[in-house]
Structure 1
């Protein structure tokens, strides 16, 4: 997600094992832009720092004051930066255990048997094993040679390190987004991010990438045959978006290809920046996601080719040119997607660096605007809440705190009013029931009343039973 500088210096006399190192940052959690701390190392007991009992957290000895900042101000409080060895378990497990032991940052050193050079490590992604949300501290991976220098230094002296990273900056921000056309979370993000992308236009080089995968051995059985498309003796698969519903992984693969062809056919290069931009692509994906549902029963509104071509015509796209592209380039496009695989099926990369924050349009916008050497005027306008012209073509995501409070007050007023009217209704109903019961009792007593003569004999009563 960013460029990173790792600097190490020792408070003991300078020695070769404490020389500065530089490595590319691979972070498992969204974190601060700078970490300053003491480098600590504890030998593993054989489990490669994969278990709580495999090592103990070293204590931080008293150290002399650190060098001041470049502007003369004192350094901030330091963190514990723990060195661990790679191997036997996932990166997430190592970093999580270190976090639970009190580390504020982790430097993972490549395996002792590894032949990876520092340049090779630059290409390694510290993948999430599915439990990355539990990690709240930054981590980096360094080569065996670089890591050994840090380990030796930490063993013999008090070594302070500074981890510093920022998104690489440029006149144009490159935004690569891995997704599936059938993924609801991805399509919702695209819909809400559209106003920002259209406003930034040629300042944002957006590159759609799609989650296409090869079937595993034995996967192409009868139950999984609808996940894949076969072409040129190859199979290309995509996730099924609705389980046992009418839309299949094959439909998703075909829609992915259509969207990539649509991008290639409609993208135009900006005159000032040279970045490719396609407003028709954004119009299409938003309209397609709104109209073509995986739950629809009729083909005109169901996820698939019929609905796709209809949407293209509605938004003014030459559907024939898109279909011609699909016919000519289907296999090369799918092969290209297989080569450009991300660390996750839903992933975002800015200027070549992994974005690890939430997939929230406003948060992503802030990260994008932070990637410009000189942010365009649109960034300032968008971050204030309105695109150029002052009107959103789509509803802005989220609601303000004031709106939320007003909504809560209105809801509370409605509940109080409902309770008041319910109480009145209940009181009225009880009174009515009691009145009817009293009248019924009176009628019953009057019906039993008999007039007697002076000699005690009964005689018919001329009293009429009253009705109430």
Structure 2
């Protein structure tokens, strides 16, 4: 019951992505009769890159073979054409089941689909289903939805019927709340999560483009309960603090590291953020996590490395250490409760976050790959009027990437040819020398044999 409540809380804040049937008119009427609205209930996947504040209007296709309707294997190419708005954005309709959501979407993407709509294989409220990345969706860049079984079957029947024309179009919208010209976004992470650390490194330069008036960021940390600790919180567990109230998974199992180190780093980062809030400069927090994420990994993930990172960005480690100590209700971090971590736990339960790392933008859960450019685009979609930071980011994206220019490439080709010619010259010289030596050896051998025969004939 608690998990169901958390899922519902999470889904209430999901970015407002919607699915509409554009045509034909008779099918659209059947959908409206079924759902009492022109919107088809749906759930947006938590992978791929939804184009926030944009619309995809595309023709719907199905795999050419019935055995491929679940899109669990490589699909045959499809002739995607005749889009209703003139922009070729084909939408592939496939059935749920047989493999993960990620596999289906990847196979559709590989044949050129711009979006994927998966229809359920069971009767349920799809709005309560979270299409989560199975860990292999890093190369997927198109959005995907789950829609009800009934709606999918109606559309599939229309597309595969014997009558003409077999033409169905959908509208997919990806809206982001835009209450004003200020965006508030929250990060939910763990300081040791590899994906979160990579994201923080890549996003930090973009986050610093915003001033405090245009964007407000709040970091939050996901904490675990100790399942084997005393319910009175009197257990000194190596992966926990406060008697087992706040824990993190053991990062290296039988190795020397512990979950307690992770919780304490989470706490240090909370204290650093508290200092940045007091000084009204979020860049201090971004400066620190960028340096820490690069430098303090594996066995260097400890307090000593953390303090070195603080000094690099002009943070006084003594102030942060005092904040950490003062946040405990008593002198013993292993058993005494901690008010900063307690506030994080309460916020986690009330927010309904059930996967991490994740981002909530203007009270809507970001759906898509946790990659810096995509998150930046979603944040910028949350402004009524984009600030200069968003345009600076777009200009940076359009700027030629650092790499090999045409002149440099020609020089590389020229010197490569010179080097190749030199290698060929010395190779031919070496071969000629070897051949000459071999010929001399054979001649000498022949002469020796001739002399030996001559001497024998004289005898």
In structure 2, the partner of 1:308 is 306
Task: State how far apart, in whole Å, the 1-side matches of 2:42 and 2:380 are.
Answer: 22
Q: What corresponds to 1:130 in structure 2?
A: 135
* 1:379 counterpart SS class: helix
Tell me which residue corresponds to 1:400: 401
Does the aligned pair in 2 maintain the 1:211–1:341 contact within 8 Å? no
Does residue 151 of structure 1 match 2:131? no
Aligned counterpart in structure 2 of residue 266 of structure 1, from 276, 281, 285: 276
Summarize the alignment of residues 238-317 of structure 1 with structure 2, pairs less than 5 Å apart.
238=249, 240=251, 246-267=256-277, 278-289=282-293, 292=296, 294-295=298-299, 302-309=300-307, 312=310, 315-317=314-316
**Equivalences, count:** 375
- Match in the other structure for 2:200: 190
Quick check: which has more Rg, 1 or 2? 1
TM-score, reference length from structure 2? 0.62
Residue of structure 2 aligned with 1:37, choices 59, 67, 72: 59
1:7 alignment partner, one of 20, 32, 44: 20
Instruction: Please list, as runs of the form range in 1=range in 2, the aligned pairs for 1:365-444 lying within 5 A after superposition.
Output: 365-385=376-396, 400-401=401-402
95-104 vs 154-163, greater mean Cα deviation: 95-104
Cα distance, 1:347 vs structure 2: 4.0
Alpha-carbon displacement from aligned partner over 1:62-110 (angstroms, at most 9, x marks no partner): 9xx98x7xxxxx544563541524x565323454566679866433344
Please, what TM-score do these two structures have when normalized by structure 1?
0.61
Deviation at 1:255, TM superposition (A): 0.3
Q: 2:102 corresponds to which residue? A: 92
> Which of residues 166, 173, 177 is equivalent to 2:187?
177
Asked whether the 8 Å contact 2:62–2:156 carries over to 1, the reply is yes
Pair 1:356-2:368 in alignment: yes
Match of 1:237 in 2: 248
**Cα distance between partner residues in 1 of 2:237 and 2:346:** 22
CA RMSD of superposed structures (Å): 5.1
Higher relative helix content: 2
Please state if 1:204 is matched with 2:209: no
The Cα of 1:126 is off from its aligned counterpart by: 0.6
**CA distance, structure 2, for counterparts of residue 217 and residue 88 of structure 1:** 37
Contact 1:181 1:252 in 2 (8 A): yes
In structure 1, C-alpha distance between the alignment counterparts of 2:400 and 2:195, rounded to whole Å: 19
The reply to whether residue 26 of structure 1 matches residue 48 of structure 2 is: no
CA contact (8 A) 2:119 2:152 kept: no
- Could you tell me how far 1:259 is from its partner in structure 2? 0.9
1:161 aligned to which of 149, 170, 174: 170
Structure 2: runs of 5 or more not aligned: 1-13, 33-37, 160-166, 230-235, 330-337, 428-459
Task: Tell me, yes or no, if the aligned pair for 1:177 and 1:349 is still in contact at 8 Å.
Answer: yes
Match runs of 1:93-132 below 5 Å: 93-96=103-106, 105-110=115-120, 112-114=122-124, 116=125, 121=127, 124-132=129-137
Which residue number in structure 2 is paired with residue 454 of structure 1? Answer: none
Provide the rounded CA distance (Å) in 1 between the counterparts of 2:287 and 2:106.
42
2:40 pairs with 1:17: no
Q: Distance in 2 between matches of 1:206 and 1:250?
A: 26
Structure 1: 5+ residue runs without aligned partners?
69-73, 219-224, 271-276, 296-301, 387-397, 427-468
Contact 1:268 1:278 in 2 (8 A): no
User: What is the distance in 2 between the residues matched to 1:96 and 1:422?
Assistant: 45
